A and B are shown apart, each in its own frame.
Chain A
Amino acid sequence: MTIDEALSKLEAITKHLEEEGLPLEEAVSLFEEGIALAARIKTDLDQAKLKVRRVIEEAQGVFSLEDFDLA
């Protein structure tokens, strides 16, 4: 799941949980799922490190990649 998919899922879960008349069991499991998703998104963002690759097209349509470091 990409981060934007995770975000929209989290938004949907939140909206669902905000509906009145949900059975308590379901509310608790939605809540737990939401918290887990939020934690995952936060971890992804916190741990992300920009990856840069230089693309070399060796022949038409044949690519090799090398890590690109600015420093």
Chain B
Amino acid sequence: MAEDRVYSVTELNRVAREFLEEGLGPLWVKGEVSNLVSAPSGHLYFTLKDAESEVSAVRFKGRASLLPSVVLKDGLSVVAYGHLTVYEPRGRYQFVVSLLQGAGLGTAQLEFERLKEKLKGEGLFDAGRKRSLPPFPQRIGVVTSPSGAALRDILSVLERRWPLVEVYLFPSAVQGETAPLEIVEAIRSAATFNDKYAPIDVLIVGRGGGSLEDLAAFNDERVARAISACPIPIVSAVGHEIDFTIADFVADVRAPTPSAAAELAVPDSGEVLSLLRTLHRRLAHAIRSAFDRRRRLLETGLRGYIFRIPLRKAATASQGLDLRLDELHRSIVRALEARDRELLRLEDRLPLVDPRLPLRRGYCLTFTPGDPSPLRDPGRVSRGETIETRFLIGKILSRVEEVSRT
């Protein structure tokens, strides 16, 4: 561009503008808003600054609707996306903003920290205040948006783990300006329902993950106080793992996600079924032992009785006594057998898989020496080998003559 020609001021500014616009593409700038002026045209003029420098910025009207969640005001820390240009009539360069968002570590974060310290100071986060959740809730309340993914997640976990529970939905917006009051109202409604209608054992309050702005309602002081005042134990279920909100600190139990809240709130039917199986087994074992003990008792009793009769006397004992002893013995055996049959019938009602069940039905199991599990494939033995066939009341050892597979 080294040349002798003399530029007019207008030409210079135009060249500078083209140079800046073409040389430097769109970019992000972080800074604090100041000198905000809302022009009658609808454009917003302000200065973005940090500790050492500042730059003029403008957000043109047509673009202002891009991010309605951010209300620009002086002092707000923002991250702005846009490009540099030169305002030719004044020869000033400025940043034209096309996208703008709260900087996260700006005032919202400051407010978060301020409220957190305040409520902590009042003891609202104290471990001693936290109530534990009942192990077997009958009714669960949920405060969330009826159309949100959070509700879907919660219901699908409850359905899978513990479909016995009754769910009561207290609908509420979970973002936007009305959300804090709607959540407060839904929690109050749940408390009244709990008081007047039917007890609610656990209340899940939450929503899916989102930006700091999206989660604002759960950082609201009114919501925090409603949670802390609620007579029902509350599980907070806000967002994904990394999002901590004030609601999380106040709640009795904090769950990292709505699904996790549902898991914390109810027992697992799979675990209950396995406890049930264990109790089944113990019952069956105990009744069997009771019969065995009784049988041994009777048998030793009987032997003792016979031994007490002196041999000499026994030899000459009247036939009548022999008969009576014999009769006594037979009646005891009959009684035991009847009990055993009854026991077998009772055990048949158990949906347990007792390895001896097939044996009772008349099937046999075949084993090869040294192998504790039954033989399933005849191809694994060959002629001349020894096999053992087990029945309910005994076994047969045999030698293989021929092997064929179907």
| Chain A contacts to B: CB under 8 angstroms | 2-4, 7, 10-11, 13-14, 17-18, 20, 22, 24, 27-28, 31-32, 34-35, 38-39, 41-42, 44-45, 48-55, 57, 60-61, 63, 65, 68, 70
A28 lies within 8 A of B342 (CB): yes
Which of B152, B193, B279, B339 has a CB less than 8 Å from the CB of A70? B152
A45 lies within 8 A of B167 (CB): no
Closest to A57 in B: B189
Q: Which 4 A-B pairs have the closest CB atoms?
A: A4-B136, A48-B163, A27-B290, A17-B286
Q: Is B346 an interface residue (CB 8 A)?
A: yes
Given A4-B135, A32-B346, A63-B197: 17 more A-B contacts, CB < 8 Å: A3-B136, A3-B272, A10-B279, A11-B279, A14-B283, A17-B286, A27-B290, A28-B287, A28-B346, A38-B283, A45-B269, A52-B169, A53-B168, A55-B169, A61-B196, A68-B167, A70-B151
Q: Is B212 an interface residue (CB 8 A)?
A: no
B168 lies within 8 A of A34 (CB): no
Q: Is B103 an interface residue (CB 8 A)?
A: no
- Give the size of the chain B interface in residues (CB under 8 angstroms): 47
Q: Is B171 an interface residue (CB 8 A)?
A: yes
Q: Report the minimal beta-carbon distance from B290 to chain A, rounded to whole angstroms.
A: 4
Which residues of A are found within 8 Å of B283, using beta-carbon distances? 13-14, 17, 31, 34-35, 38
Which residues of B are found within 8 Å of A53, using beta-carbon distances? 166-169
Closest to A35 in B: B349
**Bound-complex Cα distance A45 to B267 (A):** 12
| Chain B contacts to A: CB under 8 angstroms | 135-136, 138, 141, 146, 151-152, 155, 158-159, 162-171, 189-190, 192-193, 196-197, 269, 272-273, 275-276, 279-280, 282-283, 286-287, 290-291, 293-294, 339, 342, 346, 349-351
B166 lies within 8 A of A54 (CB): no
**Bound-complex Cα distance A39 to B166 (A):** 22
**Bound-complex Cα distance A60 to B286 (A):** 56
User: How many pairs, one residue from A and one from B, have CB atoms within 8 Å of each other in the complex?
Assistant: 111
State the majority secondary structure of interface residues on B: helix
Most buried by B among A10, A27, A52: A52
Which residues of B are found within 8 Å of A42, using beta-carbon distances? 273, 276, 351
Q: Report the minimal beta-carbon distance from B261 to chain A, rounded to whole angstroms.
A: 15
**Bound-complex Cα distance A28 to B343 (A):** 8
Q: Report the minimal beta-carbon distance from A66 to chain B, rounded to whole angstroms.
A: 10
**Bound-complex Cα distance A13 to B346 (A):** 16
**Bound-complex Cα distance A13 to B282 (A):** 10
**Bound-complex Cα distance A13 to B280 (A):** 11
**Bound-complex Cα distance A55 to B275 (A):** 35
A55 lies within 8 A of B282 (CB): no
Closest to B282 in A: A14
A17 lies within 8 A of B197 (CB): no
With known contacts A14-B279, A28-B342, A7–B272 Cβ distance under 8 A: yes
B272 lies within 8 A of A20 (CB): no
Which of A10, A17, A51, A57 has a CB less than 8 Å from the CB of B287? A17
**Bound-complex Cα distance A49 to B163 (A):** 5
Which residues of A are found within 8 Å of B275, using beta-carbon distances? 7
